[in-house]
């Protein structure tokens, strides 16, 4: 009886050694990562031609659906012949644009130069300035400078002078006119010699003075 028990214990130790690797069913164990990757290489992707459209990232769009393929900013419509994309006539970018964005189908100017350049100097939008005593200028929103040159009135004297920082000449001594070679003030009668009394034309200062002869002092002395 003891002998039979000893033989039974020996069989328990020998049986595991008799099991060969071929006897193991691989279907009972999941494949490792290497086997999975090799099996994925043999996958067959669906053919979407005539059924839909695929963008650069692999996303599938249905027929009639609008989408933006790849890096295009213009929308496309998926058709049986493939994507049909809009090709709009984009407006021209302002030549003074300093910031352009391409987020939409057409490039868009986001910032235009906000100053004017005139004779080497920069001026702010709507800024007014005088580049010379006779000019008045303004920086327009269009970044262009519009100037007006002063239109000086005819001076009311025959001896006007130009003062610093003034465009038009001024009559420092008031209106006057010529009586011969003598300058006389306007508004009064002036005796220019022993026989003539003159006065300036009212408002016509550039005209010679009007003179009238009176009885000469020399004759009175005789």
Q: Which fold has domain 115-149?
A: Complement Module; domain 1 (2.10.70)
The Cα–Cα gap between 184 and 39 comes to 118
pLDDT digits (tens, 9 = 90+) for 144-188: 899 998 888 888 899 999 888 788 899 988 899 999 889 999 988
pLDDT interval class at 16 (50, 70, 90): very low
Task: Check residue 207 and give left, alpha or beta (phi > 0: left; psi -120 to 50: alpha).
Answer: beta
Largest CA distance in the chain: 196
Predicted pLDDT at 57: 77
pLDDT interval class at 217 (50, 70, 90): low
The CB density around residue 68, as the number of other CB atoms within 10 Å, is 14
pLDDT above 60 (res 108): yes
Q: Where in the chain is CATH 2.10.70?
A: 115-149
Q: What is the 3-state secondary structure (H, E, C) of the chain?
A: CHHHHHHHHHHHHHHHHHCCHHHCCHHHCCCCHHHHHHHHCCCCCCCCCCCEEECCCCCEEECCCEECCCCCCCCEEEECCEEEECCCCCCCCCCCEEEEECCCCCCEEEEECCEEEECCEEEECCCEECCCCCEEEEECCCCCEEEEECCCCCCCCCCCECCCCCCCCECCCCCEEEECCEEEECCCCEECCCCEEEECCCCCCCCCCEEEECCCHHHHHC
Q: Which residues pair with 117 in a beta bridge?
A: 122
What mean pLDDT is predicted for residues 9-28? 46
pLDDT above 90 (res 110): no
Q: Please state whether the predicted TM-score (pTM) of the whole model is above 0.75.
A: no
Predicted pLDDT at 54: 83
């Amino acid at each position: 009886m003891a002998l039979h028990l000893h033989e039974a214990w020996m069989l328990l130790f020998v049986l595991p050694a008799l099991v060969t690797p071929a006897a193991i069913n691989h279907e009972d164990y999941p494949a490792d990562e290497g086997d999975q990757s090799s099996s994925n290489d043999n996958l067959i992707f669906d053919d979407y031609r005539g059924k839909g459209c695929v963008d650069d990232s692999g996303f599938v769009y249905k027929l009639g659906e609008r989408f933006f393929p790849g890096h295009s900013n213009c929308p496309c419509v998926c058709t049986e012949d493939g994507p049909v994309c809009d090709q709009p006539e984009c407006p021209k970018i302002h030549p003074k644009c300093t910031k352009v964005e391409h987020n939409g189908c057409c490039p868009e100017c986001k910032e235009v130069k906000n100053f004017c350049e005139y004779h080497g100097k920069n001026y702010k939008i709507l800024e007014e300035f005088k580049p010379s005593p006779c000019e008045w200028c303004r920086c327009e929103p269009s970044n262009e400078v519009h100037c007006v040159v002063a239109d000086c009135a005819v001076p009311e004297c025959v001896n006007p002078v130009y003062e610093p920082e003034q465009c038009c000449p001024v009559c420092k001594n008031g209106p006057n006119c010529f009586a011969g070679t003598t300058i006389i003030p306007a508004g009064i009668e002036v005796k220019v010699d022993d026989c003539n009394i003159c006065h300036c034309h009212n408002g016509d200062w550039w005209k010679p003075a009007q003179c009238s002869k009176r009885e000469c002092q020399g004759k009175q002395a005789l």
